Amino acid sequence: MLTSVRPADVIFEINLSAIQPNFHTISALVGPQVRVAAVVKCDAYGLGLLRVAGALIDAGCDLLFVGNLHEALLLRSSHTGAAVAVLCDEFARYGGDYRSNGLIPVVNNCFELDAIGTAGDPQAYFLSIETRLSRLSLAFDDLRRKYLSGSFKQHPPSVVLSHLACSERVGDAMNMLQRNRFLAMSDVLKPTLRSLAASAGFWLGTPYHFDIARVGSALYGLNNAGIRPNPLKPVASRRAKTLDVRKVARRKAVGYGGTFRTAQASRIASVGIGYKHGLPWGRANKVSVRLAGYSAPLIGRMSMEYTTIDITDVPEALCGPGSCVELLGEDLTVDDLAAASGIYPQEVLTRLGVGCARQMRVLATIRAPSLAGAKRPDCRVSR
């Protein structure tokens, strides 16, 4: 019989105390007239929905966007007091759950819009409109038809939103094109509030901020727009233990396929982490990790549960079996890892918590600075 549990060899740590200043940084950038909503879909990008949402609410966030009804009900079951909007709404099927839990559907098509119109009691909703992303939103022809039929006069949306396709590229003409389309379409509806910018979009400046900024990846330290110096704090770190250290002669292959061969007599450490733990397979031979303050290149082809690093330049006394290797942190961020692997930072982040222990770190609760006297847009839902 198993009587004890072996301590985790791989630790994925989430610094909740870094998420809060990131929220304040974004709030200061857009100003008190703009409401900063947190996107916590996909288990808060793999970081833990309930704990991350709690940290954001403590920081002053009062509007959360989730990916589906399941996540919304999890938040409500934890007595989350913030307004909760559901991006993949399914109001037509689960309208009773929305009404009883005070949830806000984000309507993306005519079928869901019709369900809002036949719901009986007035139902607050957000409307997503198509401005050139071609994804989950009401197209112009459908918008015009519904407008002419009087649907929006009877059941107006409280927020009209859209999503920028190229906001990571500041000079891309698509940004202005989408903004102009958004203005033209939303002006017809005359909503109470408008929202266009997401994490990279708020860096485009005031013309893109409107009333609500929907921020996800930036809260978690991702700098998709490549702003330098980066004002965002890294949130995720990852450590793993060395399992084996051995001497390898010059010109010997390391790992599957012999993709790496030693240039000199070397010391090679096997680390208990691989692509099973969400580590991108394509990062091998491209980045270095940290061990006892020293840089150690990640070499050879990565395995499912193991990877190898060259510790020739690390003092032997510091890198025996059981020593701790930092594979993500201040020196190697999620953005760095994504760039080295040729994949999207959000993909890296959402995969990181797979197959390993997740630890939360909280240094202190950081409250939002006072905005006394400032006017804030309001899209609260009566419950």
User: Rounded to two decimals, what is the model's pTM?
Assistant: 0.88
Candidates 41, 98, 146, 241; catalytic one = 41
**135-171 confidence digits (pLDDT tens):** 889 999 999 999 999 999 989 999 999 999 999 988 8
Residues 6+ apart with CB under 8 A from 185: 129, 131, 140, 143, 160
Residue 376 has pLDDT above 70, yes or no: no
Residue 364 has pLDDT above 90, yes or no: no
Q: Which residues are annotated binding-site positions?
A: 135, 304
DSSP H helical segments within the chain, as ranges?
16-30, 41-46, 49-58, 69-77, 91-101, 110-117, 140-148, 151-154, 173-189, 334-341, 345-352
For residue 363, name the pLDDT band (cuts at 50, 70, 90): low
Q: What is the mean pLDDT of the chain?
A: 88
Average pLDDT over residues 200-228: 94
Q: Catalytic annotation on 41?
A: yes
Q: Catalytic annotation on 276?
A: no
Average pLDDT over residues 256-270: 94
For residue 5, name the pLDDT band (cuts at 50, 70, 90): very low
**32-46 confidence digits (pLDDT tens):** 999 999 999 999 999
Candidates 98, 256, 286, 375; catalytic one = 256
Q: Which residues are annotated binding-site positions for substrate?
A: 135, 304
Q: Range with the lowest mean pLDDT among 6-15, 112-121, 179-188, 374-383?
A: 374-383
Range list of β-strands (E), 116-251: 126-128, 159-161, 193-195, 212-215, 236-248
Residue 79 has pLDDT above 90, yes or no: no
